[in-house]
Structure 1
Amino acid sequence: MYSTAARAYFNTKVTTTSQEEIVVMLYEAAIKFLEQAKVMIEEKDYQEKGNSISKALDIIAELDGSLNTEKGGEVAQNLHAMYMFCQSRLLMANLKMDIAIIDEVIQMLKSVGSAFAEVIKKQKGNG
């Protein structure tokens, strides 16, 4: 019963959320999975570390795949380059069990995610 209610809430949340807000939610989710991966490295739970990094990689791939390079121009190209960099760094972090590399990617995602959130806030203020 609870899972049905939770699913209904989630479906409503997703269908009533703007594309821009979903992008921010994706950044937040990727960061959450990377924070979990750091904990898993410390706890030496390497399977769950790998799962968490894989989830973050999937989100980054989704963000990259959603870029509109025609409309986005240089910004989209820069985001694509950043996503590729983040993916390669996370693959290295996964192999080396390197929390510092994960932190590096988290900081990049936080910076861009907060910039997106700021743009949304300004758009809503002017709407």
Structure 2
Amino acid sequence: MLTNNGYDQYKSNSINTATPEELTMMLYNGLVKFLMQAQSAIDAKNIERANNSIIKAQAIIIEFMTTLDMNYEVSQNLELLYDYMYRQLTQANLKKDNVIVGDVLGMAKELRDAWSQAMKLAKHPAPVQEVIAK
């Protein structure tokens, strides 16, 4: 039990001390993790675990949707993408369809990787000449 309490305390401290950018990365990592768990559960014909994993993934997507700042055009585009992902996961959960889960997982990984790259660029912005050259 001590191990769990220590781990839970570590997780809590990690969340409480994280920047908003780091929290977003944690959510993207959680989304990817739950989608991968859903795939595994569907393969194993574990309907309950698949259902729970998909519901957790959908909860993260809802969190992303509700925290968007709609003053930016990119937020409106992300809202449409998140809504699509959510609806696809509803279908995947009803049908226990790994193809749909895999499609959403691919989108989630791309979003996570883009967020990771944005975080790196924000910490170490490239000189204007390098950005223009690319």
Match of 1:114 in 2: 113
Please list the CA deviations of residues 65-98 of structure 1 after superposition, one character each: whole Å capped at 9, or x if unmatched. 111112xx11000110001000000011111111
Partners of 2:76 and 2:65 in 1: CA distance = 10
1:77 matched to 2:76: yes
Q: What runs of 5+ residues in structure 1 fail to find an aligned partner?
A: none
Question: After the TM superposition, which of the residue ranges 32-41 and 14-23 deviates more from structure 2?
Answer: 14-23
Shift of 1:61: 0.4
Question: After the TM superposition, which of the residue ranges 2-11 and 113-122 deviates more from structure 2?
Answer: 2-11
Q: What runs of 5+ residues in structure 2 fail to find an aligned partner?
A: 126-134
Match of 2:51 in 1: 50
Q: Secondary structure at the match of 1:69?
A: coil
Q: What does 1:1-127 correspond to in 2, within 5 Å?
A: 1-70=2-71, 73-126=72-125
Pair member with larger Rg: 2
Please list the CA deviations of residues 90-122 of structure 1 after superposition, one character each: whole Å capped at 9, or x if unmatched. 011111111111111011111111111101011
Partners of 1:97 and 1:7 in 2: CA distance = 31
Relative contact order higher in (CA < 8 Å, ≥ 6 apart): 1
Shift of 1:16: 2.1
Please list the CA deviations of residues 31-67 of structure 1 after superposition, one character each: whole Å capped at 9, or x if unmatched. 1111111111111110111000000000110111111
Q: Identity of counterpart residues, as a percentage?
A: 34
Q: Number of residue pairs matched?
A: 124
Shift of 1:20: 1.1
Partners of 1:77 and 1:58 in 2: CA distance = 19
Q: TM-score, normalised to structure 2's length? A: 0.88
RMSD between superposed Cα atoms in Å? 1.1
Letter of the structure 1 residue corresponding to residue 106 of structure 2: Q
Q: Secondary structure at the match of 1:44?
A: coil
Displaced runs of 4 or more, over 4 A: none
Q: TM-score, normalised to structure 1's length? A: 0.92
Shift of 1:3: 2.6
